[in-house]
Amino acid sequence: MSIFTFQSLAGGFLDEDLEHFNKIFDDWCIQFESYEDAMDIMQTLENHSDIDIVEITPLSYPKYFFSSLQGTIYTTRQIENKIICVVEPFMGSSFKIAVCDLKTRKVRLTKTNYKNISSVESAFASFSE
């Protein structure tokens, strides 16, 4: 499960109008189902040497695939059919571990609150359901 998009060498993702780069990858960014489709369009762009084709996956960009996942995501990993994330739901809040199901696209936050990133790291590294 992945998609392909255009990213500027300076950062940002190309919008669907093929004119502006958005800092965050969202629904307004152009996306393709295959690398070949992206390459066909990229070759028609004027400044294509300044653009890379990148692959977006649930592991590399979980917010796009799990729309109910809110907050700042610090790290991710995959365990079977789930993406596990360390997330700060809102600025200044305690950290949580989010469990994102690839099949159902549902997100569940664990009940445990972690006060700092170092305390959640060990729980994240040894997390299992």
Same domain, 75 and 118: yes
- pTM over 0.85? The answer is no
The count of structural domains within the chain is: 2
Task: Please tell me whether residue 54 adopts helix, strand or coil conformation.
Answer: strand
pLDDT in tens, 10-20: 889 999 998 89
Same domain, 41 and 70: no
pLDDT at 109: 94
Q: Pairing mode, if any, of strands 107-109 and 3-8?
A: unpaired
Asked if 23 and 31 count as a contact pair (C-beta separation under 8 A), the reply is no
pLDDT in tens, 83-92: 999 999 988 8
Calculate the alpha carbon distances from 64 to 20, 28, 67, 102, 118 in Å: 19, 11, 6, 12, 26
| Buried-state track 99-118, b at ≥16 Cβ within 10 A, e below 16 | bbebeeeebebbeeebeeee
Whole-number Å distance between alpha carbons of 4 and 34: 6
Given 17, 38, 56, the domain boundary residue is 56
Same domain, 101 and 76: yes
Segments of the chain scoring below 50 in pLDDT: none
Supply the range of the domain harboring residue 115. Answer: 62-125
Tokens 């109008």, residue located: 17
Same domain, 18 and 50: yes
